[in-house]
Structure 1
Amino acid sequence: MTSPGQMRRRGCGDGGAVTSEMAVVMVAFLAGFLMLVVYAGRVGQAGNDVRSAAHEAARAASLQASPARAEDAARQTAASNLSTSGVACADGLSVTADTSNLVPGGTVTVTVSCTASLADVASLNVPGSRTYTASATEVVDLFTEARE
């Protein structure tokens, strides 16, 4: 006959195994979820960076006196803003400026398009690329100092 203490110990051999297995599964799940959140945040931030670059490029173009200078200013400003924010355009940066109404009180519209590698944007090993496009319109100032 066995003593009651031995019977109790025999049934306790697997106690807590489910808890430790669940902890391992939860850590893996939370790590995957965290990576998804980081990915979504960085992809969204890249879109915001392109919108900001378009806005700044339109503002820079609206301050110029000639359409050629406005287009150059828009290209340089957009490239500088995207470089500063860390968005690398894999297929090159496309900047178009509609300067047909570049007169005091008129408007200038700039469209910025950038195809970026998702691996670069998200800093994760994610395949593929995404094209970000944004447009911004600025009013040309009515009263400016010397517009050449």
Structure 2
Amino acid sequence: MPSTRARRALEHAHRRIAHVKERPDAGSVTAELTILLPLLILVLLLVVAAGRLAGNRIEVKDAAHQAARAASLARDPVTARSRAESTARSALDSAGLSCRDLGVSVDVSAFAPGGVARVTVRCTVDLSDVTASGMPGSRTLAATATSAVDTHRGTTGSSR
């Protein structure tokens, strides 16, 4: 005859088996979570990447606006180009945005009192640090801004 302790253990085992037979879906939550967890992590990483892209897009637009303003304050087209390029680089650096490839295009063809200075900033941002797999890699963001040259301001030189 089994001991009291063994009898209790046997009764407990029978109750557990009966409980499992009553609930055939026991443990399915764990299986579902195991299957869905990688998908949830992927969705979270995509949200982080989208947020970072939105922030970077704002920084590139701001750099273009600052560069266009700096160009419009210059006295001649050569200085306008130089100031626009340095201002764009400085604005992106101060924003903490590291561009894999940075291009600053300055259009001073209408650089005269009442004219405009137009600057386009292109920045290739690296997104591989968001995910361990390196997806999506990088994205090129571009923004163009225009700033008017003051009509009562003197300029020197010609843009041609």
TM-score scaled by length of structure 1: 0.78
Amino acid at match of 2:106: A
After the TM superposition, which residues 23-102 of structure 1 pair with which residues of structure 2 at under 5 Å, given as runs? 23-91=33-101, 93-102=102-111
Alignment correspondent of 1:124: 131
* CA shift for structure 1 position 51: 1.4
Report the RMSD for the aligned CA atoms in angstroms: 2.7
1:54 deviates by 0.8
Q: Distance in 1 between matches of 2:60 and 2:107?
A: 18
**Structure 2 residue runs without a partner (length 5+):** 1-11
Percent sequence identity over aligned pairs = 39
Q: Classify 1:68/1:35 alpha carbon distance in 2 versus 1 (closer, same or farther; 3 Å).
A: same
* Partner of residue 11, structure 1: 18
Deviation at 1:15, TM superposition (A): 6.3
| Match in the other structure for 1:136 | 145
Question: Structure 2 residue aligned with 1:105, among 102, 109, 114?
Answer: 114
Amino acid at match of 2:77: P
What letter is aligned with 2:143? Answer: A
Q: Deviations over 1:93-121 (max 9, x none)?
A: 2112111222221111011112232225x
Measured in 1, the distance between the counterparts of 2:125 and 2:104 equals: 15
Q: Distance in 2 between matches of 1:21 and 1:50?
A: 45
SS at match of 2:100: coil
Partner Cα separation in structure 1 for residue 72 and residue 148 of structure 2: 7
CA distance in 2, matches of 1:78, 1:63: 14
Runs of 4+ in 1 over 4 A off after TM superposition: 5-8
Using the TM superposition, name which of 8-17 and 82-91 deviates more. 8-17
Letter in 2 for 1:134: A
Q: Which of these two proteins has the greater Rg computed from alpha carbons?
A: 2
TM-score, normalised to structure 2, is 0.73
